[in-house]
Chains A and B, each alone.
Chain A
């Protein structure tokens, strides 16, 4: 119907499947983000390191090309170290993305009372959170496990099927390790965004939760001569979980400095899982308390 027919018309056409509607939120968010030069550059910049790694992999399997032009053959890093470094670096970038994009996810909707508009439609609170979370999950995936697995496939192409089969744990570690981190970050960002309306404060709180927790953990460890302070050190917890996923050999490797687990300071793996899950549970509780159609004054 043309816009000049200014009359109310009921809608009787087809409707989209209910399961896919949460994806509308990230689509609109990405359209907005595209307008931000900084975020666009950041997203592009995050692909530089995987490209460098792809170049390293290519060169390490094309030594003949180097020798042919008379260059000395360099000594490249092992594949395991390369992938672990990539995992650590890219996931650190994901954290910075959360600093920039996370605080603005829910807080503007709360400040502008937009939640009743979302939730008065056939659209649930869970879908709202999933939609908002998808903004980060999709971007972070494109930064972390997607390039990681692409590089793994690239390396497998050169090394052959046998290598791929032997190192499948590395691929699964990249995939699940990244997912654990980005899910954790997403939940934390959403919860902080839901409770702190002022973006800089929300970003600072997110920063503090991740970094200051490490400092506090170090103080507890030093004061009480224990390693249990790491139970609140988020990067330590994530690093420990990664080690569990990637296996013992990685422990000796370099890379993933940001998520490093110092020798002798390990805490049991189940404690790390329990601590991470508790924080996630708390974030979900905070979200459930805040993401509502209406606030009730009891």
Chain B
């Protein structure tokens, strides 16, 4: 399978300040979530891949095209929905999207046809002749999505796609993203602060911290792996208990609420945990099966630094 994005020692500096620090990796998911705290370099990475910033060192490839030497070809393959309000003043919605389609190379008639289709697709069919300046924030988000998909790109960059949307509009946006991702012939990169959005839409997650890759997680594999996740609420001195649990081959993590999270290795029975707790005089007050949420993965990445989860 051809990688969607390949990062090859990518370094980006603003003046003397390094923003992206030797990012390397190959990502081939249908929908790749880009997570990280403010200033981690998510938008800079997207902007660099789109050719807005010149790499100081290294390079990246999108669907096999080098962003340095084939920037135009890269942009022909991609669609971009920026984070902030972005539109052309004094234009009706459909005319704006038609202009964007024509700039992507579509002939006039096809651009017009697809602009109408895109507007119906994002649910703004009835408002397509209204001046885009009069749209609500949610409608502008949808219009931005329409201009990003109108030319049928193979890779879509969505920067905070659910920003400012009310719950029904957010639901609609998520559905659209899931539908696009589900087609299989288009890939998505979704940058978002909302872990839930990323969890719902993405099959791979790239977590950035301070310009470096803090973690990469294949959510799809995690979901398929059927590993046995447990969450325990204990009472009593649990330090020795945790050490012994780890000796038994469990992966452990203590959540912010003090609960112990475990991944049981194959062959280990839950009964063994009770026996161990009994031996260590630790009470297990609550035990339930629970997989690592994306939030756990994110928080762990923020604590640990680099690595693959």
Contact = CB atoms under 8 A, between A and B. Distances in A.
Interface of A: 1, 3-16, 18, 21, 24, 28, 32, 108-109, 111-114, 116-124, 292-294, 296-298
A16 B86 contact: no
Given A9-B117, A111-B89, A122 B186 contact: no
B52 A16 contact: no
A32 B95 CA distance: 11
Nearest to A120: B80
Contact of A294 (B53, B99, B113, B151): B53
Given A10-B154, A11-B151, 15 more contacts: A3-B120, A7-B179, A8-B183, A11-B110, A11-B114, A21-B102, A114-B87, A117-B87, A118-B103, A120-B52, A120-B78, A120-B82, A121-B104, A122-B103, A293-B52
A46 B110 CA distance: 36
A118 B87 CA distance: 10
B152 A12 contact: yes
Contacts, number: 131
Given A10-B186, A13-B106, A108-B90, A116 B100 contact: no
Nearest to B15: A298
A8 B113 contact: no
Chain A, interface SS category: loop
A292 B47 CA distance: 11
9 contacts: A1-B113, A7-B121, A10-B152, A10-B154, A13-B110, A109-B88, A112-B89, A117-B100, A123-B104
Contacts of B116: 3
A24 B102 contact: yes
Given A15-B106, A122-B76, A8 B186 contact: yes
Interface in B72-88: 72-73, 75-76, 78-80, 82, 84-88
Contacts of A112: 85-89
A129 to B, nearest CB: 14
Contacts of B183: 8
Among all A-B residue pairs, the 3 with the closest Cβ atoms? A11-B152, A293-B52, A15-B105
